[in-house]
Each structure stands twice: as structure tokens, then as C-alpha cells.
């Protein structure tokens, strides 16, 4: 099952109910905490943050793996980290000819931003 390509759930770009409410709104339930921790954990590695940022900041939020290999690690390591980001639902990928293209859905960024939006921040 884990290799089946399941599309990401369609999230509202406004991020109203993405994964979870904002962290500061009310205590998370165990289920919400599991989902949020999964996303955070995927970004809990500097190479993955660099890859995610490299993809997210490209026009269209999409990059060929050939575009994002300058993060100081080997190609197999890049592939490993991209797979981890994909498994966490932060990236989608599509093969076109020789190359695999990775994509950050804007809704993913919106969902994570909403999670961290603090109604108490002042």
C-alpha cells in the first residue's frame, strides 16, 4: 500500500481546515498531533528543508530533480530525501520523459502556515 500514488487531499488554499487547527487555538487531539508531527518531522532535516525550499521557490512550485541537486549530498541521498517529503504529503511527483518533476502544492504551504497561525500572536 505504501507505494500506491494517492493524490493529496484537496485543501482549501485559504487553509481553513487543512490538517489541524492553529496550534495555539486549543490542545490538539492525538490524531491531529500525529498528522502535524508527520509534516514537521519531514522538514526536520536541513537537506530536506533545502530541497523543499528549492522546489517551493521555483516558478510554478515545481522542479526537475536535475534542477535541485546542489545541496551538498549525493544524488541517491537527494532521492531518499525527496521520497521522504513525498511520503509525508509535502511533495507530489510526476515523471516526464527522462526526469522526475517534484511539485509543492500551494495548499500544502497554506495548510502548514494555517497550522502555525497564532490567534494569540500580538
Specify the residue, 4 or 120, whose C-beta has the smaller distance to its own copies.
120
| C-alpha cell belonging to residue 66 | 536535475
**Region 36-55 residues binding its own copies, contact defined as CB under 8 A:** 36-37, 40-50, 52-54
Nine-digit cell string for 48: 530536506
| By CB under 8 A, residue 106 contacts its own copies | yes
Nearer to its own copies, 4 or 10 (CB): 10
Which parts of the chain fold into alpha helices (H)? 30-42, 46-56, 75-87, 106-116
- Residue 82: closest CA among 61, 65, 62: 65
Query: 112 and 75 in contact (C-beta within 8 Å)?
Result: no
C-alpha cell of residue 31: 490524531
Residues 4-43 that bind its own copies (CB under 8 A): 13, 23-28, 30, 32-34, 36-37, 40-43
Chain residues binding its own copies by CB under 8 A are: 13, 23-28, 30, 32-34, 36-37, 40-50, 52-54, 56-57, 61, 72, 104, 106-107, 109-110, 112-113, 115-118, 120-122
Amino acid at each position: 500500500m505504501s507505494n500506491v500514488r494517492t493524490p493529496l487531499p484537496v485543501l482549501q488554499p485559504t487553509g481553513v481546515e487543512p490538517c489541524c487547527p492553529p496550534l495555539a487555538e486549543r490542545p490538539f487531539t492525538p490524531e491531529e498531533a500525529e498528522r502535524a508531527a508527520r509534516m514537521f518531522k519531514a522538514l526536520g532535516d536541513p537537506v530536506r528543508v533545502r530541497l523543499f525550499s528549492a522546489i517551493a521557490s521555483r516558478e510554478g512550485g515545481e522542479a526537475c530533480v536535475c534542477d535541485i541537486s546542489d545541496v551538498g549530498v549525493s544524488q541517491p541521498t537527494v532521492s531518499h530525501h525527496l521520497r521522504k517529503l513525498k511520503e509525508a504529503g509535502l511533495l507530489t511527483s510526476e515523471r516526464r520523459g527522462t526526469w522526475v518533476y517534484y511539485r509543492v502544492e500551494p495548499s500544502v504551504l497554506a495548510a502548514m502556515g494555517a497550522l502555525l497561525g497564532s490567534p494569540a500572536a500580538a
